[in-house]
Amino acid sequence: MLHLQDCTFFTRKEILRLFDRYRDLAPQLVPLDYTDQPDVRLPYELIGSMPELKDNPFRQRIAEVFSEDGEGNMTLDDFLDMFSVLSEMAPRDLKAYYAFKIYDFNNDDFLCKSDLEKTLNKLTRNELTEDEVRMVCEKVIDEADLDNDGRLSLEDFQHMIVRAPDFLSTFHIRI
Amino acid sequence: EEEKVGEEKPEVLSPEELEKLKEEVDERKKLISTLRGKPWPMRKKLLTLRESHEFVEKYEGALGKGKSRKLYAYKVMMLKALMGRPYGSMPRKTVPRADEANAMDFAVLWDFGVITNCLFGYAQYSVLFYGYYNSQRAIGWLKFRMPLSYFLVGVGTVAYSYMVVIRTMARNANEDGGGDNNSFNFSWKMFTSWDYLIGNPETADNKFASITTSFKEAILEEQESRKDDNIHLTRFLRVLANFLVLCCLAGSGYLIYFVVRRSQKFALEGLESHSWWERNEVNMVMSLLGMFCPMLFDVISALENYHPRIALQWQLGRIFALFLGNLYTFIIALMDEINLKREEEEVLKLNMTIWEASLYNGTLGVNSTAPPITVHPADIPRGPCWETMVGQEFVRLIVSDTMTTYITLLIGDFLRAVLVRFLNYCWCWDLEAGFPSYSEFDVSGNVLGLIFNQGMIWMGAFYAPCLPALNVLRLHVSMYLQCWAVMCCNVPQERVFKASGSNNFYMAMLLVILFLSTLPAIYTIVTIPPSFDCGPFSGKSRMFDVIQETLESDFPAWFGKVFSYASNPGLVLPFLLLMVLAIYYLQSTSKSYKQANLELKKKLQTVSRTINKVLTLIQHLLYSLCGTCTDIVCSPESKKKGGEHRAHQGKSNHQIPPSATSPPAPRGHRIPGPLPGNQWQPAPSVQRVPNSQRH
């Protein structure tokens, strides 16, 4: 427990509360006793159906980024880590790092055009025309790409996002 | 696993090794406390934590039991306090909802006449106004210097206001990274518009819709700006618009002047013979102008076809000019009235001597031991107190301004919302979507209103000392009323454009208003002699004579001499010159610092990028050299792509975690991206060999 407190931004009480939430998702799978560190993994479908995440268009990516196996199946540690980073207490740089990973759909450490297009389509539920999507992605690369390689690296992304006034308030989940 | 460097017997260690060990232990402790902020997967964090704890506990004893434990506790607490503090946490402000409209407005409107009578009748002689204060130099057993304190409080408030405004501006300037809030428009829309707190499908739907609309608008605007317009037509239209605006301003200035002249005529004829409107004409006209002219400016600005932010700045500038013009016309009219009152005073003084003579004439005889005449204080004719009149005018202005605001709010927002909501059922077109729809909450207009309200308070506070208190009351009421109105009848602005990159735009406006409002007050203090029988400065030839008096009577003689030397123009002018030069010097150095700062930032970026490239090269080399090493490195433990700056196992300095989902071969022929680990330390630390590798 002490270890978890050092590794997340949560207090002991909050960790216990989160453990209860985790357990409530699948009481039959999750044992009450975690002292022997059982290897329990909740499938993505259960995580994605949580009220905090179910309306989020990026829930699958969030689960994938924070899960150990990269598929969205989360252990308790992953679960805590995810909500710790998305909590109010996490610093801006940490959030920016994970935001970058979330929006990087193909996991190549760059936000290339296809990543941006996917992000935009998820944001607008495919309501924009192809031309409009293309234009927006070009503008984004135009604005944020500092090293001129046609895609956004982590530095480009961080440089842009730390100046955003809304970033901390929108990239935040309260649980 | 850590190398155990024979630290079993601490007494064998040399001082340097002991020192190094201490350093390592401190580093580990620091790592533990900053662990939660590292972008590592949980498993790695837990492992690191366990190892660091073991290391620290093991070697802490070697450094001195007990003492280090305490130090550790303190250090951890300190570090926790320093680094655990929420970074950029957003305060949660929830707006309290007032349940119903403040019905006070109607009643006051109805009884406006009664209130004004009360205020300007009885209250005239109350503490609210200048006229109440006695000119006695020292009051009570504490010998409180009342006139001096009145003067100093007046001057002090202004000085304090200047200080506060400028300090806030300086603070804002420091926090502002360099207003580039237009340079990442699309990027921010894409990455920060979705609110992760949304947990409700309806809200989510609304959010998707608003994001889509916002993107479409931005796309349209981008396309517009790329078009090459007919520049001559645009220029002509802009000139025309400015001309129209100037006509408006001139017209409003003349209207106020005309109305003030008329009210002076009415005053001469006696106020009772006129209707309520005629009595309060000046204030009503000013308030109405303040309400309708900005709308007119808004319509005219449609001709100009500017970018919305530029248009907003023009609009704010014009409203500023309008208010300023109105206020100064008002002040000039007030000056005329002051002069009138002073003439009256002269006449009264003359009459008083005659009256006094008549009083004594009846009873005075040769016998000089006649009893003193007792005259009831209320019977003595009082001089017209121009200062109280000024104070009253300001109070009247503020009250009418408040009334206008509340009425506009109720009619313009509330009534409109009610009509749109209920008439929508039986109207031919959609009232909610088209005209008139719900009113938007105009942030910049409201801020401007607050600034001008404050300017009026600054102007009138010297003559009506309770004005700030009244204003505080009014602001509280306004806040609750407007909170309710916003929740109940307003929709958010479609485009949220800030007038400038930082809050300093409004603070600069506040500073200008402060300067312009205190100017008339200072002018009257310095030029016009105070009334002869009312107020704390009565009888003196100038208000600031009270300072002279205090210096002469309350301070030792040498102080007065020093002061007179110090206020010699021969000394003051060179001092002013020196200050101007100092300002110039500071300005130029600050510019050069900003420049240097920018260049350093750029250098830092290029340096870190170069280092990244070098590191990737080294990784490539390692791959090609030790094929077996990568097999160890690509163990199941490090499947995640967390950046690492320490190796837990293996001999390589940096682990290359391959992505879990990408297909390439474990040898990793793909080019690894920049190591996020580098983000968390300054570049030089990368050269530091990880602790576990030290021999």
Is residue A87 within 8 A of residue A60, CB to CB? The reply is: no
In this model, does residue B191 exceed pLDDT 80?
yes
Q: Which of A55, A86, A98, A116 to mutate to test the interface with B (most CBs of B within 10 A)?
A: A55
Taking CB atoms and an 8 Å limit, are A108 and B670 in contact across chains?
yes
User: What is the pLDDT at residue B684?
Assistant: 36
Q: What is the DSSP string of chain A?
A: -HHHHHHSS--HHHHHHHHHHHHHH-TTTS-S--TT-----B-HHHHHTSTTTTT-TTHHHHHHHHSSSSSS-B-HHHHHHHHHHTSTTS-HHHHHHHHHHHH-TT-SSSB-HHHHHHHHHHHHTT-S-HHHHHHHHHHHHHHH-SS-SSSB-HHHHHHHHTT-TTHHHHS----
Q: Nearest by CB to B673, from A153, A163, A172: name it.
A: A153
pLDDT of residue B60: 74
A165 CB neighbour count, 10 Å cutoff: 10
ipTM beyond cut 0.85: yes
Q: How far is B183 from chain A (nearest CA, A)?
A: 7
**Which three-class secondary structure state does DSSP give residue B139?**
strand
For residues B295-317, average pLDDT: 82
**B319-331 pLDDT, tens digit each:** 888 888 888 878 8
**Residue B450 or residue B651, greater confidence:** B450
Lowest mean pLDDT among A18-22, A40-44, B125-129, B137-141: B125-129
Instruction: Check pLDDT > 50 for residue B502.
Output: yes
- Band (pLDDT 50/70/90 cuts) for residue B645 is very low
Residue B180 forms contact with A (CB below 8 Å):
yes
Q: Among residues of chain B, what percentage have pLDDT more than 90?
A: 10
Among A70, A86, A116, select the one facing B196 at the smallest CB separation. A86
The count of residues in chain A is 175
Q: Give the closest of B33, B90, B187 to A144, CB-based.
A: B187
Residue B686 predicted with pLDDT over 50: no
Please name the residue of chain B whose CA is at the shortest distance from the CA of residue A84: B36
Nearest to B662 among A107, A146, A163 (CB): A107
∠ CA B448-B450-B456, nearest 5°, is 105
Q: With 90 as the cut, is the pLDDT of residue B111 above it? A: no
Chain A closest-CA separation from residue B683 CA (Å): 14
Size of interface A-B (CB pairs under 8 A): 202
Q: Note whether A165 contacts B187, CB cutoff 8 Å.
A: no
B222 contacts on A by Cβ (under 8 Å): 135, 139
Q: Establish if B204 touches chain A: CB-CB under 8 angstroms.
A: yes
Does the predicted model carry a pTM greater than 0.95? no
Mean pLDDT of chain B: 73
Task: Please tell me the distance from the alpha carbon of residue B470 to that of residue B397, in angstroms, as a whole number.
Answer: 13
How would you classify residue B608: left for phi > 0, otherwise alpha for psi between -120 and 50, otherwise beta? alpha
Question: Which residue bears the tokens 């983000």?
Answer: B679
**B439-440 and B490-491 as β-strands: parallel, antiparallel, unpaired?**
parallel
- The residue type found at B462 is F
* pLDDT (tens digit per residue) in B45-62: 888 888 888 888 887 766
pLDDT for residue B641: 41
CA B498 centroid distance within chain: 13
Residue of chain A nearest B48, judged by CA positions:
A7
Q: List per-block mean pLDDT (blocks of 10 residues) for chain A, which spans 175 residues.
A: 82 90 89 80 91 92 91 90 92 92 92 92 91 91 84 88 87 90
Which positions in chain A touch B86 (Cβ < 8 Å)? Answer: 88-89
Q: Give the pLDDT of residue A100.
A: 94
Say which residue, B495 or B260, is predicted with more confidence: B260
pLDDT confidence of residue A105: 93
Low-confidence winner among A58-72, B172-186, B376-390, B589-603 (lowest mean pLDDT): B172-186
- The pLDDT tens digits for B416-466 are 888 888 888 888 877 777 777 788 887 777 888 888 889 889 988 888 888
Residue of B nearest to A98 (CA): B39
CB pair distance less than 8 Å for B50 and A3: yes
Distance from CA of A28 to the nearest CA of B (A): 24
Average pLDDT estimate for B31-53: 87
Q: With CB atoms and an 8 Å threshold, state whether A123 touches B86.
A: no
Quickly count: other Cβ atoms within 10 Å of residue B65's Cβ: 9
pLDDT (average), residues B623-646 = 57
Residue in A1, A3, A6 to test binding to B, most B beta-carbons within 10 Å = A6
Find chain B residues with C-beta within 8 A of A83's C-beta.
Answer: none
Tell me which residue in A136, A153, A166 faces B192 most closely, judged by beta carbons. Answer: A166
**pLDDT at residue B579 greater than cutoff 90:** yes
* Range from B293-307, B319-333, B355-369, B402-416 carrying the lowest mean pLDDT: B355-369
